[in-house]
Amino acid sequence: MHMADALISPAVGGAAWVATVGIAAYSLRRSKADIDDKKIPLMGVMAAFVFAAQMINFSIPGTGSSGHLGGGLLLAAILGPYAGFIAMGSVLAVQALFFADGGLLAYGCNVFNLGFFTCFIAYPLVYRKIAGDGASKARNFAAAMLAAALGLQAGAFGVVLETLLSGKTELPFGAFVALMQPIHLAIGLVEGLVTAAVIAYVRKVSPALLHGYGEPIPAGRANGGRKVVLGLAVAAAAIGIFMSWFASANPDGLEWAMERTSGGAELEAEGRAHEAAAGIQSATAFLPDYGFRPSSAEGATAVTGDDATAAQDETEGTAEAWPSVNAGTSLSGVVGGAMALGLSALAGLAVFAARRKGERSRSA
């Protein structure tokens, strides 16, 4: 469930960061009134608890995959949605930094997927509506199961959308959804069971803990301006996601169309695809958008403009249509990349050797 930086584009990651920071700022304002010396250690313990729960992977029968709990609903139920969201943010920060589980750029996406849907959708709209005053055990159980499943389904769908918007992989939407949702349904059921069991026990043994903190502050106690903050955060997220669609999806859409046309009706499509590719190349001529991009400034094996376009097309996945590409240009990319890696390693070794020498001369 934790997204990594490798699969995310800066536009989507940045938009999710903005949304998450906005929601966190709003949560902080809303929860400030009831955060006291008793609640701060409770937030720490709950966050550490969810952190530990996320570290434990259990296998999902019949799928061959494994999953771990999200814990957002438990945080919301015990800390309240606002403090719960902040605690989820700190859990995921420690996960990202110390376990590389979820990336730094993807941090906003992860907090949004695991925290927003559970604390602000599943908890108030499902859990509290069904659980009511919490007197009925059966209702509590049903509320936890449903809310946990719903929260994780929404989060998993968020992962799918954010990954596809980032355009770093070409997984078809349907296949990705069919992969993510059922697995997270299974995880959601386990999460519901654990959440229900823990809440039931806490309610029995120390009900003050739930009643003191799980209840959200009545809306009257927060001033109306704060609703504006949430509105702004949601608007920022919507704008960010909308913008990122244009930032990353448009060229991809072209590329996709181009690949489809070149793969389909070869001869007729060639001219159009060629034009589209030339358009892309002229737009991205100064950006190394593709690692194996050729350069028209090639010395002895100078490529003509047409060849450069063809070579560009080749990296777009249409090599068969233009077999005339100069292999040397692509080769220079491969060789240069290997050299860059080798030189980087050499630089590292040289620094290491220099440091060791310095240490020896100091100790001598």
Partner 1 sequence: MRDPSRALAAFYSIDALARRHSPVHDRHPVALCATTAAFVVTAASFGRRDVSALLPLFLYPFVTLALSGLRPAELLGRVVAASPAILAIAALSPIFERAPVRVGPWILASGWLSCASIALKLALTVSAAFLLVATAGMGGVARGLRAARLPKLVVLVFQMTYRYVALLLSEVSGMARAHELRAGPRKGVGKTLWGPMLGGLLLRSYDRAGRVHDAMAMRGFDGEYRSGRDGPFGGLDAAYCTAWSAFFAAARFLDISGALGRAAGFIARGAAS
By rule CB under 8 A, what string of x and - marks binding of each residue 193-232 to partner 1?
-x-xxxxxxx--xx--x-----------------------
Which token pair is 198? 């823990």
By rule CB under 8 A, what string of x and - marks binding of each residue 65-104 to partner 1?
-------------x-------xx-xxx-xx-xxxxxx-xx
Among 18, 48, 177, 189, binds partner 1 (CB under 8 A): 48
| Residue 149: partners with Cβ closer than 8 Å, 6 or more residues away | 185, 188, 189, 191, 192
Can you tell me the distance from the alpha carbon of 161 to that of 314, in angstroms, rounded to the nearest whole number? 29
Residues 335-354 contacting partner 1, CB under 8 A: 335-341, 343-345, 347-352
Can you tell me the distance from the alpha carbon of 274 to that of 261, in angstroms, rounded to the nearest whole number? 10
Q: Least distance to partner 1 from the beta carbon of 292, Å?
A: 6
300 binds partner 1 (CB under 8 A): yes
122 binds partner 1 (CB under 8 A): no
Residues 241-270 contacting partner 1, CB under 8 A: 252, 259, 262-263
Applying CB under 8 A, what is the total number of residues that bind partner 1?
A: 113
The dihedrals phi and psi of 135, each to the nearest 5 degrees, come to -75, -35
Q: What's the sign of the alpha-carbon dihedral 49, 154, 158, 115?
A: negative
Please say which residue, 186 or 325, places its beta carbon nearer to partner 1: 325
Please say which residue, 252 or 270, places its beta carbon nearer to partner 1: 252
333 binds partner 1 (CB under 8 A): yes
The dihedrals phi and psi of 202, each to the nearest 5 degrees, come to -60, -40
Q: Least distance to partner 1 from the beta carbon of 169, Å?
A: 6
The dihedrals phi and psi of 105, each to the nearest 5 degrees, come to -70, -35
Please say which residue, 127 or 213, places its beta carbon nearer to partner 1: 213
Q: Least distance to partner 1 from the beta carbon of 119, Å?
A: 14
6 binds partner 1 (CB under 8 A): yes
| Residue 301: partners with Cβ closer than 8 Å, 6 or more residues away | 326, 328, 329
By rule CB under 8 A, what string of x and - marks binding of each residue 126-165 to partner 1?
-------------------------------------x--
298 binds partner 1 (CB under 8 A): yes
317 binds partner 1 (CB under 8 A): yes
CB atoms within 10 A of CB 219: 11
Q: Least distance to partner 1 from the beta carbon of 131, Å?
A: 16
Q: Least distance to partner 1 from the beta carbon of 5, Å?
A: 4
Supply the angle between the helices 137-166 and 173-205 in degrees, to the nearest 10: 150
**Residue 182 parent element (H or E):** helix 173-205
Among 124, 161, 226, 292, binds partner 1 (CB under 8 A): 292
Supply the angle between the helices 327-363 and 305-315 in degrees, to the nearest 10: 70
Candidate segments 34-42, 119-127, 215-223, 226-234, binder of partner 1 by CB under 8 A? 34-42
Which token pair is 200? 């039931």
Q: Number of C-alpha atoms within 13 angstroms, CB side, residue 32?
A: 10
Can you tell me the distance from the alpha carbon of 192 to that of 144, in angstroms, rounded to the nearest whole number? 5
Please say which residue, 24 or 147, places its beta carbon nearer to partner 1: 24
Among 243, 272, 290, 296, binds partner 1 (CB under 8 A): 290
User: 318-332 burial, b if ≥16 CB within 10 A, otherwise e?
Assistant: beebbeebbeebbeb
Q: Least distance to partner 1 from the beta carbon of 235, Å?
A: 22
283 binds partner 1 (CB under 8 A): no
Q: Least distance to partner 1 from the beta carbon of 39, Å?
A: 10
**Residue 59 parent element (H or E):** strand 58-60
45 binds partner 1 (CB under 8 A): yes
Please say which residue, 267 or 286, places its beta carbon nearer to partner 1: 286
Residue with tokens 């490798």, as numbered in its chain: 6
Alpha helices in 80-125 (DSSP H): 81-99, 107-111
